[in-house]
Amino acid sequence: MRRPPGPRLRLCLLPSVWLGSVRLDGAGQIELDQLATSARPRGLPVLDTRERGTEFRELSVRSALNSAAATHMGFWSINPYIGCEFGCSYCYARDTHRYTVERHAARGGLVAERDAALLSKPAVDAFERHILVKRNLAAVLTRTLEPARVGSAAIVIGTATDPYQPAERRFAVTRSVLEALLPFHRLHLGIITKSPLITRDIPLLREISAKHRLKIHISLATCDGALLRRLEPRTPMPHARIRALAQLTAAGLDAGVLVAPIVPLLTDSRAGLGRLFAAARTANAARVNGGVLRLGPTARKKFLAQIAAEFPELLPRYEKHFSHSSSAEPAYRKALSRRLHRLQEEFGFPVGGMTSDVDAIKGTDAEADEQMALLI
């Protein structure tokens, strides 16, 4: 029987629930219902495939923006793709892919033979091998964006998946979204990406920043290329991201570095972070902010397997800590915030953007080092 339009509710131990366009689940997660409905399921048509087996599938949506209230992120968000070929093991968006496919299947929206591969793959792998492309996103955005409703809150592109991941070179959905935003006035816009592909759109980004307030965040965990390869095997190398950052700032754009995620015991040292801040300063970054690693259930499994393979000596500590927590201890986060604030001061960047309770940790940097090393 088809689900009638309207609310459906899932609470702990009960099936999932949709409230209008918002899904709640027992773990307290919220997912927007962006999928278009059609009388005749057409599945998720394959748009292209790569030699190594990645598939790109078309996903029709009926809404473009995730509201701040629904995501609890304090801003609106747009994600042109679901899934990401960069495939970082700690990516928290893997669950979003699973929810979307499950939702499509529950509506009878998958075509059995053609979509068998999509359903048979473990969700954790499908995220990086079956990229869902929202080809109608710009048209939907043009039709549905109400600036009065958005108000002064920011609209951030790329909160769940990278808007300049390799698929963008082929499908240009992010570019079409930027073009759709251009005719509006005085929006607060943000873009988060790890990819130098963003420099392709510099002329368009300059037009946008002339009409809107635009902040670009280049996400980079470390300047150590060898270490980055062990953490993120398929993302662009640090020097390429820093070069892209320099090109963006040279074009007059407001661009900074988002040090994310900061991985405890691997990328959180003062020396390593200092090199990253220095590179950002050289590229004339407007700011450097950061955030510590968080691991949801799906990402935890994938990331711990990578720690086991690459950093086996750290596995017992990671297992012990992240088996009962998705984030670092509050005391660790405070010590890390203080370290980042001091680096911001030292390199002349605006101070802030991390947790606000940095003063709760007293003592010298050496003491903070010791505390951080003990807390994970």
Q: Which residues of this chain interact with ligand SF4, rule CB under 6 A?
A: 84, 86-88, 91, 93, 161-162, 165, 194, 235
The Cα 343–Cα 352 span in angstroms is: 11
Strand ranges, E, within 75-220: 76-78, 81-82, 130-133, 154-157, 188-193, 213-219
Smallest gap from Cβ 193 to ligand SF4, in A, equals 8
C-beta closer to ligand SF4: residue 96 or 344: 96
C-beta closer to ligand SF4: residue 91 or 285: 91
Residue 216 near residue 191, CB atoms below 8 Å = yes
C-beta closer to ligand SF4: residue 43 or 291: 291
DSSP three-state, residue 166: helix
Residue 301 near residue 345, CB atoms below 8 Å = no
C-beta closer to ligand SF4: residue 95 or 162: 162
Smallest gap from Cβ 195 to ligand SF4, in A, equals 8
Smallest gap from Cβ 56 to ligand SF4, in A, equals 15
Smallest gap from Cβ 299 to ligand SF4, in A, equals 9
C-beta closer to ligand SF4: residue 84 or 150: 84
Compute φ and ψ for 267, nearest 5 degrees.
-125, 15
Smallest gap from Cβ 220 to ligand SF4, in A, equals 11
Tokens found for residue 75: 């801003």
Q: Report which DSSP code applies to 265.
A: T
C-beta closer to ligand SF4: residue 60 or 79: 79
What crossing angle do the helices spanning 270-282 and 330-346 adopt, rounded to 10°?
A: 40
Smallest gap from Cβ 184 to ligand SF4, in A, equals 26
Smallest gap from Cβ 108 to ligand SF4, in A, equals 29
The Cα 293–Cα 300 span in angstroms is: 10
Smallest gap from Cβ 80 to ligand SF4, in A, equals 11
The Cα 262–Cα 25 span in angstroms is: 28
Residue 65 near residue 181, CB atoms below 8 Å = no
| CA distances for 372 relative to 261, 262, 315, 333, 356, angstroms | 16, 12, 17, 8, 17
C-beta closer to ligand SF4: residue 260 or 273: 260
Smallest gap from Cβ 59 to ligand SF4, in A, equals 16
C-beta closer to ligand SF4: residue 91 or 187: 91
Q: What is the DSSP string of 16-73?
A: -EEETTEEE-TTS-EEE--BPP-SS-----EEEE-TTS-EEEE--BS--PBPHHHHTS
C-beta closer to ligand SF4: residue 84 or 340: 84
| CA distances for 58 relative to 43, 96, 166, angstroms | 9, 16, 15
The Cα 84–Cα 309 span in angstroms is: 22
DSSP three-state, residue 311: coil
